[in-house]
Amino acid sequence: MKAQDVLPDGEDFTTINGRALRKGSVAAFLANARILEDAGTSPADRQAAEDDFASLIPTLDALGLFDVFELRSPFLRAEVARHRAALSPSPASPSA
């Protein structure tokens, strides 16, 4: 499969698993991950990257990225797991 088979030229969005996905989401996630891993990042830039990083997790989940790739960074892995857990519906309580 080629990139244009997933998202044809001239199109900026596609729908996968019922979620509208924007072109560039994976690249933006990676850019934010690099910012978060940089010890020299200013607090303001770190906060902006954290917000953007977290907002992309549902998109990358819909793409199945985390089913195929594991993040090397323990910090980034923990952040993704934390945000994914917050997005998951809580299991139903057993009825008595």
Q: What is the pLDDT confidence band of residue 30, given thresholds at 50, 70 and 90? A: very high
| pLDDT value, residue 90 | 56
6 pLDDT higher than 50: yes
Rounded Cα distance, 35 and 20, in Å = 25
- More confidently predicted of 89 and 27: 27
Rg of the chain over CA atoms, in angstroms? 16
For 1-5, 34-38, 61-65, which range has the lowest pLDDT when averaged over its residues? 1-5
Average pLDDT, the chain: 88
At residue 20, φ and ψ (nearest 5 deg) are -75, 125
Please state, as a whole number, how many other Cβ atoms lie within 10 Å of the Cβ of residue 8: 9
Considering only residues 46 and 93, tell me which one the structure prediction assigns the higher pLDDT. 46
Segment among 16-25, 32-41, 51-60 with least mean pLDDT? 16-25
